[in-house]
Structure 1
Amino acid sequence: MVEGSANTLTAAWVVAWLRESARVVGEQRQYLIDLDRAIGDADHGENLDRGFSAVVKKLDDGEAPATPAAVLKLAAMTLMSSVGGAAGPLYGTAFLRGAAALGDAQEVGPDDVVGLLTAARDGVVARGKAESGDKTMVDAWTPAVEAAGTAALAGASVTEVLAAAANAANAGAAATEPLIARKGRASYLGERSAGHLDPGAVSTGLILQAAVDAAGGQQ
């Protein structure tokens, strides 16, 4: 079971989210590599696949942590220690900040999801020194945070809040195509970076959709 009470999710949801993220990243590994080859180091898909596979191995090898935050912290530490490039530190920081936002809570409700996503986005911004419009994963994280907040204020369920975030992240990722990169390796290309999707924004959409799918059917 990944559900808590009528409108909350538990640590089991975070475990399911991480496992689904690993599955999707593995499935989309070559696509992410190809996106990164166009404007980066061609290692984004490989690095994420390695990182999330390591997270799943950690979960398989030991007893799953008891709280949502503890599961996220395990994932954060594993990603930061096993993933090269920018992806490990950025996603690791996102999960670590998200864990801090949840604290010792046993269950995650709609407002908690907003807090988790906001803290994760702020961690990515702090680590990568990027802002919206720079053609980075922030262009997916920020609309996700805004959409989640709007949904929660409207009384949406926890799964609906997650879905709003994922949909907005995917739209934000699609909107990176015409942008000129101002951060990261892609910025070296200048105007030639336009016409390509940002791989980090795309993987953010995939991972947030994995959170929805992990929670699906539980509310």
Structure 2
Amino acid sequence: MSATPPPLGPVRPSPLVEQAADALRARIAGGHWPVGAKLPGETTLAKDLGVGRSTVREALRALAGAGLVRPRQGAGVFVVATEPVEDWPARLRRAAVRDVYEVRTAVEVHAARLAARRRGPEDLAAIEAALAGRRAAARADDTAFVDADIAFHAAVVAAARNPVLADLFAEFTPVLRRGLVDLLALTGLREHEPDTGDEAHEALLRAIRDGDAEGAARVLERELADPFEGLGAGAE
């Protein structure tokens, strides 16, 4: 059993909800209310914090959103974690580029299969336009070329007609973009081949146009083979 902590004490006005949530979060993190413990009722917490019950209610809602507590119908509010759950965008921001690239490969290879089966005329037109944009960007700098390359791949994912795949691709695109720009700077790949990968992208478009699902998947698997191998820290 931990020592009895000092009283919570009233919080100062503005913003009350944030201050109340911070006070309760600190008590949970400090182990006063361990995982599985039931929190005192709203009336008790409101009295300890010197705030109204509505403020306590909003603070508890914030803690629930962070994954620290969970209300149980008719039983009260219970602690389910001592550290907040990191949301997906935050996790992606600190992820290693290689890890994101591996997920990207899994998503895109499957999306290419679906695109070959589901694409309509408007999807093919979008992919063709994106390929033309990628070729035009071969004369531009690395950042513009990467943006055009990602636009092509986004058009392929969109042709899969699966909004969850499209949303997932969009979520990790910012991390992927930074990694690819850095990769080109490290390798100087475009110095001798400004439109690097053009043949593979043309082959992918052709496979999708022909409805060749496994052919499209094979093209992407070859194209997206780990480009970070041998780069060491550059892949982090």
Give TM-score scaled by structure 2 length. 0.25
Higher RCO (Cα < 8 Å, 6 or more apart): 1
Which of structures 1 and 2 has the bigger CA Rg?
A: 2
Give TM-score scaled by structure 1 length. 0.26
